[in-house]
Structure 1
Amino acid sequence: MKHIPVLYNEVLRYFAPQPGQKFIDATAGGGGHIRGFLDAGAFVLGLDRDPEAIANLKQFLSAFIEPGRLTLAIANFSNLSETAASLKFDSVQGVLFDLGLSSEQLDTPERGFAFQKDGPLDMRFSQKDELTAASLLQSLSEAELVKTFVDYGEERRFGRKIARAVVKRRAEKPIVRTAELFELIKLALPGPLRYRAGDAARRIFQSLRIAVNKELDHLRAGLPQALEVLAPGGKLAVISFHSLEDRIVKTFFSAQARQCVCPPAFPICQCGGNNARLKILTKKPVTASPEETQKNPRSHSAKLRVAEKIK
């Protein structure tokens, strides 16, 4: 399946790229948003942890690489500042984080991201990383599994039962396939609810993917670095796909848009009240239109937040 960029028109409307401007796509993925920047005449630095994604983009967008319009790097956005500096790519007009999986990642069973088709329980963005979903299921204690399922998958209702089922099954043999895990999740649910096993599986698979790739930690590290590489007036845009990511983005934007940073206990402002570094442009997150969700069902949970750098 060809990758379909989410909220494509909305992203380009906020960035409004012009010829000669510089943009960073911190999650290059399938290259859909990058192509929009390039078609507008901008220069782009595309980063991705997934070597396969970068290799595919080098073929897909080869016409832009030789003239120097596009630079691609296998890199984690938690190292955004260092990567941008090493490639002399700073004072940019925009930085984009699209935190969703690409269609290619989801639709390749060998990557192990989805439960709809059987494959190895891998879930690594980079094959250089050692930790896989299978090894995580094998090594975590029951309490740690519960915490992972609840904290990262928000599976509060059945997280404990599923964790207990994992521990029981792995005592007999390791759980190494996506189909095995899906069947285990299904059987852990009460009989009348097993027809909705897909909902629970989606949350459990999400929790394992986040844990394997340390996604939330990297997001917390990457957002401040994005702010540093932006030129004044530049925009930071983040597309998130679940409440855990969106909460981190919302908290970061709110903190950086605050003029007064005095402790709440101070009755009178003593910091000068001129500390805001961001102006929030989206009071509420932008979501996909009914037309987009019909064409691309994966866009239904996407939320776009955008802010402009003041200083």
Structure 2
Amino acid sequence: MNILISGGSGFLGSAFSNEIMSRYRAQNKALHITWLTRDSSQAHPNDIEMMTYDELTSSDKSFEVVLNLAGAGIADSRWSDERKEQLMASRIKPTESLLAFIKRTSIKPKLLVSGSAIGWYGTQGDKPLTESSGFETDFAHRLCNEWEQLALTATEYGVPMAIVRTGVVIHPEGGMLGKLLTPFKMGVGGQLGDGQQIMSWISREDWVGAAIFIIEQHLTDDASSQTTHENTLQTTNDTTAVVYNLTAPNPVTNHTFTKTLGAWLHRPTFFALPNFLLKLMFGEMSTLLVDGQKVLPQALQSAGYEFQQPTLKQALEGQK
């Protein structure tokens, strides 16, 4: 199998690459992975090929799967107008490059997996949200929706696609957990706001496992049996487009997350940051911290995926 990945060197793309290569080697299956990059000198594993976006414009290579993960971290800095433009451009421009390649190439990919986030649903408190749920309009929704709608253009070229709406990914090498480890290890970690906001999370191991599961399911002859009307998206033709929530089946409150992380690290969690201070510190971006989302992986579980780390305690203990 040939796989092309934008964002391949990132927090998720690198873990995905390592795991699928390990699995295919163990099964004696052929696999070739190419990472898209803007810097041809970027460090990378020896068994990964690098291709620049400029090279992609004239490449005659064919790929069975395209995995579109490029995008700046939404929680990395305060949402100024300039930062919002950066967040949008970092998703739109790589997706446009991939779509131009897909349109031009004579041998179309069998599947495009395109990233998104549970921010698509907007802030809806503790209301259970599945792939068929509606949304509330805010910046996070607009960011995810523009990214998704652009990616759906691939279906106009006859390429089936799966959109993966990702929750908070748990792993100490990066993401939210990576940022929290230092203050929690110092004993100054604590809950955010009143701690009752729901956090929809997924371990990085299960994110990778779910992504591989989705790819393998959709490349089988019975791929159509893995879709339901609840997670099927409307397209301009008969080409399949589906959405999956990549979240664990057991979301937790921020209070529970705080206590579970403190217990795992054997550190106290007495401190708390009130809502007004979070809003003062982070502005509009504070919605990611103080407003909850209860997003459930209905489509993923209906398709038969079995979580390896379905609880937060298991996800944290799996890192030891």
Q: Please, what TM-score do these two structures have when normalized by structure 2?
A: 0.33
Q: Please, what TM-score do these two structures have when normalized by structure 1?
A: 0.33
Would you tell me which structure has more helix in proportion to its own residues?
1
Query: Over alpha carbons, which structure has the higher Rg?
Result: 1
